Structure 1
């Protein structure tokens, strides 16, 4: 029992230190007023996105950067996605929509869609966005500045998350919580080791020349979590890359239902542990089981110390992510339970090879 408590506190303290580092270093994209005129290709893979796509397209149209083209690839949608995009494009000359080719070989859907989009792009920079994103003033100009300032081949941003339903509020915050609790984001740029990598496919900005030379989506054609794998590929090739928080300049509503969140997060959960189920279970045991064992001791001093080391990072991460800190603290136990639910389905579907996304096996 003493050993378990000791290991639990070491784990909690390490995560506390990582969170404090992230909070103090404040790894956000900074707004920059210096104007840039580089031509940016905004590339959007879309599969059955009729409920989201116009929100994104209108947000691009209404933001302040003007030197861009927008290409939407309809990835075999069965809804009105293509028609909506075609109608919008007919009214705005900087926008166009293309039909994606049929999947072939080892390609996964989104990876192949992004690869095709890159082949159509003419920009100095290639900006991949998810169809459920929305962008705001300052985003593209500030991101282009960052590319030049850091001499980056790739900049990825973790978007602010829109959450409206209770189901979203007890699942979606897990993304930022685990990310900022385990990885000092600044190290992605500072450390050359490709294992120190994280990225979000919701915003991936590439130097177009380097992308065309390396064809990073082609290199990761069969990877379920292609964003982090591309970041590792970029670093392995010796180029600079960086991941930051979006600082309110791009937002995303990832899921609108509990089942959608469980399925979506479950698709990626094991990838963070290189699909090693044992490592994933050890992580969950320390994250959730350890604190429960501490509580069973009924030692008020230990419990109080543990709660402080858990809840203070919860507040810091919420503030970094632009989320409601009080709500996340109150919902923390439910979010941890939902992490177990996500883990259960992730492991079950991985072992039975039944993981799907948007109607396709992955």
Structure 2
């Protein structure tokens, strides 16, 4: 095969991927508006923490400021923190009866820390709550985020809904790496086919902000079913599918924002772990980052020329 033919095929593949990204983002991606809405269901927001004293305050304040959820309860798990995280939680909660602070226990053999923390929260939440909302400490929710997300969960008929927050970027490395996981599923995953298909391989989710129907979550085995998985969020979505539940991804940029990593070493180590777990080998992960970089350069060129971009 001649080099020119190889280049032509490669350009065709890239063009097809860009077109698929545009269709996913422009037509098939659900977008909750975050407008004022009220729900009647009881909801438990679950917040696992480990050494998050420096950034839990705005997260928890945003949770307590949620509107449109009269039955809201917030359950916080201090998972072996050594920086006074529990004291900060107590100070922010200031005796608010909606907040319950739990002390985590060490995970048993075969469990990783994050799935075990989430499972402790899920099994100790208010039994009357019909929806569980998992939130990480680096996520800042808008005032109607929980109500809008639960509304979308029910409208989609899903057992699991993953609203991807707006990723806060400040550096060139952030712009290249931080949106990578969202770009991957927008580029390679047919969103509506994913919703309709029972295949576990057609699944994606982000654990920073995850909304689940409690009955569907327990039917799938909850985080106990993904106890030893590094990417427990994606594996939980697959477990939901295996139990005949539906999953859906939504654009959560109007509902929440997230600044996942503050420094380059944190960014490098966090995404190295995630991509390696996703693709099974560091070379595969490097190829994905390279493709993402090429896509960004192509997008800038197309924007500069005034043409549609992927």
TM-score range, shorter chain: 0.7 to 0.9
2:48 to 28, 41, 45: 45
- C-alpha distance in 2, partners of 1:16/1:215? 37
SS of the residue corresponding to residue 195 of structure 1 reads: coil
Q: Deviations over 1:262-319 (max 9, x none)?
A: 111111012322x155654665676668x9xxxxxxxxxxx99995499999955xxx
Aligned residue for 2:71? 67
Aligned residue for 2:91? 87
- Superposition map of 1:265-344 within 5 A: 265-273=271-279, 275-276=280-281, 279-280=284-285, 283=288, 308=302, 316=310
Aligned residue for 1:115? 119
1:224 to 227, 230, 239: 230
- C-alpha distance in 2, partners of 1:41/1:231? 19
CA 1:28 to 1:179, structure 2 compared with 1: closer, same or farther past 3 Å? same
Q: Which runs of 5+ in 1 are unaligned?
A: 292-302, 317-362
Q: Which runs of 5+ in 2 are unaligned?
A: none
CA 1:283 to 1:261, structure 2 compared with 1: closer, same or farther past 3 Å? closer
Aligned residue for 1:353? none
- C-alpha distance in 2, partners of 1:94/1:313? 51
- C-alpha distance in 2, partners of 1:93/1:189? 37
CA 1:305 to 1:8, structure 2 compared with 1: closer, same or farther past 3 Å? farther
The offset of 1:221, in angstroms, is 0.4
Q: Number of paired residues? A: 303
- C-alpha distance in 2, partners of 1:306/1:150? 34
Say what the alpha-carbon RMSD is for the aligned residues: 2.9
SS of the residue corresponding to residue 270 of structure 1 reads: helix
Q: Deviations over 1:52-86 (max 9, x none)?
A: 11111111122213321101111111112111112
- Superposition map of 1:153-168 within 5 A: 153-165=159-171, 167-168=173-174
SS of the residue corresponding to residue 40 of structure 1 reads: strand
Aligned residue for 2:134? 128
